Chain A
Amino acid sequence: MKKLLLISAVVSQLAFAECSVRSASINQNQAQVGPVTNLIKNLSANKCSVKFQITVNGTNQSLEGSWSGTEPPEYLCNYAVEQTKKEFLVTMGGTFRTEAITSCSDGKSIQKKLRIGDAILENDAPPHPKFLSYFQHELARCRVFSETVDSVEKTETYTGVICQIKHTNYWRVVDRW
């Protein structure tokens, strides 16, 4: 996995490709950390401030944080979320493992829509407001997501199902409509 990430990084530098790093932290002690919900992003020059909620050990936590840098705005916001989450979790003690997926495209804009078959991190698929609970499907832990995609003409909302890939922290998009 490390090799794969390294190769991806090198290739992206050579080809001037646009890359997106999506990461998530996992508390290896017993804390159960849910997906990010109610995310509010506030972008200003080279800074993204975020407000969001996560559920830790069944308790809802409201968090706020920010990230400054020269990266594209969307990356700043992702980093702000991850950093804020990490800082909060550190206050709970324990050891943390971070996993990341790097996606690169050769000069084209990164496709943000989820696709059936994609392997993603759970917080890449926002929970569906009406179906928040996890359910079992073919022995896997699954949940429904709701994805909103903005384009120039309109805003589209998609619904879908993700299921956790066994023994990993990755989730597979198994259906989308």
Chain B
Amino acid sequence: MKYIAIVLVLALVGCTEDQAAPVKDLSYQELKALPLDCEFSERQLTVLKDLQRMKNFDPDPDMLSEPLRKYNAMLKAKIWWYAVRCAKS
């Protein structure tokens, strides 16, 4: 009975915990291939901003190696694309 109660408690705790999906690390090619669509801007921006937070690049592009600079540029360009193209009038 005790074991059942423990299992039930653990199961309930598991259900109520914040189940935030882990941030998926993307290669440059995967990032580049991400589609841009204003209709899904909220969801896509979350993915991109989570990725940006995870990467934590130096804000000064001159401090980054060439591949990282390229990756950072692609990431920021995609994030700003939504502000430029999807602004609600």
A128: min CB distance to chain B, Å: 10
User: With A135-B87, A177-B73 known to touch, is A161 a contact of B61 (CB < 8 Å)?
Assistant: no
Bin chain A's interface residue count: 10 to 19
Q: Which of A46-54, A84-92, A136-144 contacts B (4 or more CB under 8 A)?
A: A136-144
User: A116–B76 Cα gap in the complex (Å)?
Assistant: 13
**Proximity string of chain A (99-118) to chain B, C-beta cutoff 8 Å, 1 when within and 0 when not:** 00000000000000101100
Which residues in chain A, 153-177, are within 8 Å of chain B measured between CB atoms? 158-159, 161, 175-177
**Is residue A131 contacting chain B, with contact meaning CB distance below 8 A?**
yes
**Is residue B28 contacting chain A, with contact meaning CB distance below 8 A?**
no
**Is residue B18 contacting chain A, with contact meaning CB distance below 8 A?**
no
Chain B positions within 8 Å of A142 at CB level: 83
**Is residue B10 contacting chain A, with contact meaning CB distance below 8 A?**
no
Bin chain B's interface residue count: 10 to 19
Q: Check if A115 sits within 8 Å of B60, measured CB to CB.
A: yes
Q: Check if A137 sits within 8 Å of B83, measured CB to CB.
A: yes
User: With A116-B59, A176-B61, A177-B61 known to touch, is A159 a contact of B83 (CB < 8 Å)?
Assistant: no
Residue among B62, B76, B87 making CB contact with A175, cutoff 8 Å: B76
User: A150–B36 Cα gap in the complex (Å)?
Assistant: 32
Given A144-B84, A158-B61, A159-B77, list of 11 further CB < 8 A pairs? A115-B60, A116-B59, A131-B84, A133-B84, A135-B84, A159-B73, A175-B80, A176-B59, A176-B61, A177-B73, A177-B77
A-B pairs, top 8 by smallest CB distance, nearest first, are A177-B76, A177-B73, A137-B83, A135-B84, A135-B87, A136-B87, A177-B61, A116-B59
